[in-house]
Amino acid sequence: MNQTQSVEPIVRMENISKRFPGVIANESVDLTLMQGEVLALLGENGAGKSTLMNMLAGLYRPDSGSIHIRGTHANIQSPQDSMALGIGMVHQEFMLVGNMTVAENIVLGMKDLPFVPDIDSINARIIELSDRYGLKVDPQAVIHDLSVGEQQRVEILKLVYRGADILILDEPTAVLTPGESHELNNIVKIMLSEGKSAIFITHKMDEVIEFSDKVQVLRRGKTVNICNTADVTPKDLANMMVGRDVLFSLDRCPYNPGGVKLKVEQVTVNNPLGGRPLLDDVSLEIHRGEILGIAGVAGNGQQQLAEVITGLVRCDRGNIYIDGMDKTNNTPLSFIKAGVSHIPADRGAMGIVGDMSVGENLAMKKYRTKEISKGVVIKKNFLRMFADKLIDTFSIKTPDQGTSVKYLSGGNIQKTILAREIDSCGGILIAVYPSRGLDVGATEAVRQNIIAQRDQGNAVLLVSEELEELQMVADRIAVMFEGKIMGTRNVKDTNTEELGLMMAGAVSRGA
Amino acid sequence: MMRFIIEKRTTKSKYSVFIVPLVSFAISLLLGAIVLAASKANPFAAYKAMFEGSFGNIRRIQYTLREAMPLLMCGLAVGIAFKLKFWNIGAEGQYVSGAIGFTWVVQFWTFLPPVLLLPVGLLMGIIAGGLWAGVPGTLKAQWGVDETLTTLMLNYVAIGYAEYLYIDHWKAPFGNMGTPKFPDAAILPSVWGRVHAGVFFALALVVILWFILYKTRWGFELNMIGKNPKAARYQGVSIKKNIIMAMLFSGAIAGLAGAIHTSAVAQKLTTGVNGNYGFTGIIIAWMGGLNPFGSIIVAIVMAALSTGAGQLQIALKLPEAMGAVLQGLVLLPLLAGSLFNEYHLRVIKKGAE
């Protein structure tokens, strides 16, 4: 890592600019990566991190600027070109074929693969590589039987198998438990010791501190700072990212819960495809004026829990009560009428209708009420006034309420959903990954809104992957693992280690 | 050197809604000209003959408008199902069911006073068409049965049953097919030559559908379901209920079209009851952009293409099927052109990179 200036960097991007219709994604960005170094690319959503890396990976081409790999000018036209230069990228969404084996996925699409591949030697090579880097995976395992962390290892193995020595990881820890993140860090360390180099994209400050040697901060497509990780604090980084001071603690009323608002009693939801139930005998209570956090690695039943409480998924056993009334397996509309609001996990697929306007999306709960309709007729002027009010209150950045919501940025789409659900909230708010993928500024706004709901006496269920967020926002935390609740703790009486162990299922093994 | 890139539009263009269909229509006329030239016909003479055949004198205009009415109604019918992305390609069968229902009442409900024959007959047409569409709607909503297959297959059942009725079961004592002519009280009166009173129903439906789709809560819900069913369900909108309701409504309109056309034009149930109006209605709904008012113009254009085709035969000795070819050619550029509602073309000069 002690490179001198005379050594040619392994990656040198110079004066890179990239425009998309209406957006400047990157403007005159320079980037250098030395051999054996980890560079963190830090920035808010939409700062241009992924775009910059996608140009290195051959998915986009820069409008202007040049890329040099190991000192020679590189004209990267396609992912194949990029791979040939030893560059490999692990995307946020894994690109694996679920019903094929690890080995098949690793060699899939390789150009020099013979017509009948020699499976034994492929397996042997995979085992050799996985031993060398601590990437423990069975080459014969089928992808959809693997955990998310294991799938990520397959993605990394795929790259090293194909000879990549410049690794790009796009938000690699977003899907991992704290333990798995630590393991990933070790894997990257071994690779560095062999002379490989890595760039990873993130918007989490603690990751930068833990993983990287050098950090480059992007804001609105431009570089704001490049510094040695050892010289900065998370707070410095946050300020550089956002361009202003960021609150790290949130104002809230003292914890003073009221009566039980929502009660989930021994609810089980079977998996239609067979195997273990999606929700397994889950019981919990949420009081008025309380935020119950649900921790766990994504895919352990959190989403089904939220959907069973909103009537979107039927439970096979157990009961759900709101204000003591049995609501088990009622229609979604009946839950809405009982005052349940829901910020869904999948915004684009469920939270909005992309082809309808911001105003119409804001009105999708209240269109049934006098605020917007007269009898069966929707009053366009009522709708407009209603939408303008919410756009103003929640500072949604949109040209006007008639713009199709799909043209808004991710953060503003989330604000649109939040505005609609908070405005129509009648006592219970179910928020699933409400700050996922949002930048620091938007995350702060989301969290403050959620806390405000609690302070007004509403019962809030907050599902999050980030323990830090739950510890900051929730009053109590329940941990889910494989469809079960591993335990519930008061935030004050627990710590990251205990919760992390529970997230990994440790309590169920009797630990 | 120039390169062309097709890029996603960042905002909706206000003009593309009008320009795309117009340019597409112009392109289809060009494509048609190639086909005509290949058949050794002068395209200009052919188009002129077609125009004269469809709008050349008052009688021809009336005839074109009369043909446009069932087309418009079938277009409206499938349009409402298409709003939900429910691919009702069974308007033809629903139309025929409506005709059968109407015939049954006006021929066999002899206990009705004559003044009630027409209203009850039309109502039966509505019910028959609605039920015929309600079957695939219910199958889809309850068990997820693919609607393209069920609606398509039910067309042939309805057409076959109608054939059985007018060839055998309900056949008039004289002649070799067709029911007896309907009583006078069961025939919709003319309002302008060949244009009959069905025109009021067609235009009223345009207004009613426009109002429902763009002004009411139900229209809002249909729009949500069509554009993102998962989001609609999450907002408490029942998808099953709406699919069934939209299909009942869709079939009812097609059934009414069948009842009206049989009453006013054929004046009995006989061969030709399946006039392809239901199938052409699919094209009308698409080209009208699923907008009821847009469908009026498209229905008239499509009617003119078929009425004008007769003149092709007389004036240029071309087969009448050429009209169907030209109709088909209208659809292709339009479907291709709808890409440009979402995307636009950007020209990049090589040197500028």
Inside any domain, residue B295: no
Q: Tell me the pLDDT tens digit for each residue of B181-203.
A: 999 999 999 999 999 999 999 99
Note the pLDDT of residue A424: 93
Residue B7's pLDDT band (cuts 50, 70, 90): low
**Contact status of A407 with chain B (Cβ, < 8 Å):** yes
How far A364 CA sits from the closest chain B CA (Å)? Answer: 7
- Output the six-digit token pair for B248: 């009942």
How far B221 CA sits from the closest chain A CA (Å)? Answer: 9
Inside any domain, residue B38: no
**Contact status of B110 with chain A (Cβ, < 8 Å):** no
| For the ranges A67-81, A240-254, A484-498, B57-71, the one whose mean pLDDT is highest | B57-71
Rounded CA-CA distance A165/A35 in Å is 9
Domain boundaries, chain A: 11-242, 247-339+428-511, 350-424
Domain range for B167 is: 69-287
Note the pLDDT of residue A258: 93
Which of B227, B233, B353 lies nearest to residue A355, judging by beta carbons? B227
Q: Which CATH class is domain A247-339+428-511?
A: alpha beta
Q: Tell me the pLDDT tens digit for each residue of A170-216.
A: 888 777 777 788 888 888 888 888 889 999 898 777 778 888 999 99
Residue A1's pLDDT band (cuts 50, 70, 90): very low
Inside any domain, residue B308: no
Rounded CA-CA distance A416/A387 in Å is 10
Q: What is the DSSP string of B217-285?
A: HHHHHHHHHHH-HHHHHHTT--HHHHHHHHHHHHHHHHHHHHHHHIIIII-S--TT---SHHHHHHHHH
Note the pLDDT of residue A511: 35
The more confident residue out of A106 and B74 is: B74
Question: Closest-CA residue in chain B for A62?
Answer: B353
Q: What residues contact A444, with CB distance under 8 A and at least 6 apart?
A: A246, A247, A250
Tell me if A11-242 shares its fold with A247-339+428-511: yes
DSSP percent split of chain B into helix, strand, coil, nearest 5: 75, 5, 20
Most B CBs within 10 Å, among A60, A355, A372, A404, to test the B interface: A355
How confident is the prediction for chain B on average, in pLDDT?
Answer: 89
Long-range contacts of A323-330 (CB under 8 A, 24+ apart): A323/A261, A323/A427, A324/A260, A324/A263
DSSP percent split of chain A into helix, strand, coil, nearest 5: 35, 25, 40
How confident is the prediction for chain A on average, in pLDDT?
Answer: 87
Q: With 80 as the cut, is the pLDDT of residue A311 above it?
A: yes
Note the pLDDT of residue A79: 86
Taking alpha carbons only, the member of B321, B307, B312 closest to residue B49 is: B312
Q: With 70 as the cut, is the pLDDT of residue A3 above it?
A: no
Q: What residues contact A504, with CB distance under 8 A and at least 6 apart?
A: A177, A179, A481
Residue A8's pLDDT band (cuts 50, 70, 90): confident
Which of B215, B238, B353 lies nearest to residue A377, judging by beta carbons? B215
- Classify domain A11-242 at the CATH superfamily level: P-loop containing nucleotide triphosphate hydrolases (3.40.50.300)
Rounded CA-CA distance A214/A285 in Å is 46
List the end-to-end C-alpha distance of chain B, in Å, as a whole number: 11
Provide, as residue numbers in chain B, all residues whose Cβ is less than 8 Å from the Cβ of A331: 236, 238
Note which residues in 207-246 of chain B have CB less than 8 A from chain A: 215-220, 223-224, 227-228, 230-238
The more confident residue out of B344 and B132 is: B132
- Output the six-digit token pair for A194: 């062999």
Note the pLDDT of residue B245: 96
Note the pLDDT of residue A410: 76
Is-contact B58 B193, C-beta < 8 A? yes
Inside any domain, residue B14: no
| Tally of domains in chain B | 1
Distances (CA, A) of A65 to A27, A29, A89, B130: 10, 9, 21, 63
Note which residues in 268-327 of chain B have CB less than 8 A from chain A: none
Mean pLDDT of A421-435: 93
**Contact status of A342 with chain B (Cβ, < 8 Å):** yes
Note the pLDDT of residue A92: 78
Q: Tell me the pLDDT tens digit for each residue of A364-390.
A: 999 999 999 999 999 999 999 999 999
How far A77 CA sits from the closest chain B CA (Å)? Answer: 14
**Can you list the positions of beta strands (E) in A348-391?**
373-374, 377-378
Which of A22, A354, A367 lies nearest to residue B220, judging by beta carbons? A367
Q: With 60 as the cut, is the pLDDT of residue B352 above it?
A: no
Rounded CA-CA distance A248/A244 in Å is 13
Note the pLDDT of residue B323: 80
Q: With 70 as the cut, is the pLDDT of residue A128 above it?
A: yes
Rounded CA-CA distance B204/B210 in Å is 10
* Binary contact (A21, B216; C-beta < 8 A): no
Note the pLDDT of residue B326: 83
Note the pLDDT of residue B9: 67
**Contact status of B169 with chain A (Cβ, < 8 Å):** no
Note which residues in 1-20 of chain B have CB less than 8 A from chain A: 7-12
Residue A110's pLDDT band (cuts 50, 70, 90): confident
Q: Model ipTM?
A: 0.86
Q: With 80 as the cut, is the pLDDT of residue A340 above it?
A: yes
With 0-12 / 13-18 / 19 or more C-beta atoms within 10 angstroms meaning exposed / middle / buried, residue A76 is buried
Note the pLDDT of residue A53: 93
Q: With 60 as the cut, is the pLDDT of residue B351 above it?
A: no
Query: Sign of torsion, CA A18 A23 A29 A31?
Result: negative
Q: With 90 as the cut, is the pLDDT of residue B3 above it?
A: no
- H or E segment and range at residue A148: helix A148-161
- Output the six-digit token pair for B164: 């059985």
The more confident residue out of B42 and B353 is: B42
Note the pLDDT of residue B40: 86
Nearest 5°: phi and psi at B170?
Answer: -105, 10
Rounded CA-CA distance A362/A424 in Å is 10
Residue B8's pLDDT band (cuts 50, 70, 90): low
Rounded CA-CA distance A421/B79 in Å is 32
Q: What residues contact A412, with CB distance under 8 A and at least 6 apart?
A: A396, A397, A398
Inside any domain, residue B23: no
The least confident of A79-83, A278-282, B248-252 is A79-83
Q: With 50 as the cut, is the pLDDT of residue B88 above it?
A: yes
Residue A425's pLDDT band (cuts 50, 70, 90): very high
Q: Tell me the pLDDT tens digit for each residue of B269-295.
A: 999 888 899 999 998 888 777 789 889
pLDDT cut 90: percent of chain B above it: 65
Rounded CA-CA distance A507/A481 in Å is 10
Question: Closest-CA residue in chain A for B342?
Answer: A355
Taking alpha carbons only, the member of A157, A153, A160 closest to residue A181 is: A153
DSSP state, A434?
Answer: T
Half-sphere exposure of A43 (CA within 13 A, CB side): 27
Assessment of whether the complete model's pTM goes beyond 0.90: no
Note the pLDDT of residue A93: 75
Note the pLDDT of residue B1: 55
Q: What residues contact A3, with CB distance under 8 A and at least 6 apart?
A: A34, A35, A36, A37
| Maximum separation of any 2 CA atoms in chain A, in Å | 76
Q: Map tokens 């808004």 to a residue.
A: A408
* Binary contact (B11, A407; C-beta < 8 A): yes
The least confident of A157-171, A254-268, B109-123 is A157-171
DSSP state, A142?
Answer: B
Taking alpha carbons only, the member of B62, B236, B92, B96 closest to residue B165 is: B96
Question: Closest-CA residue in chain A for B346?
Answer: A21
Inside any domain, residue B133: yes
Q: What residues contact A373, with CB distance under 8 A and at least 6 apart?
A: A367, A379, A382, B217
**Contact status of B350 with chain A (Cβ, < 8 Å):** no
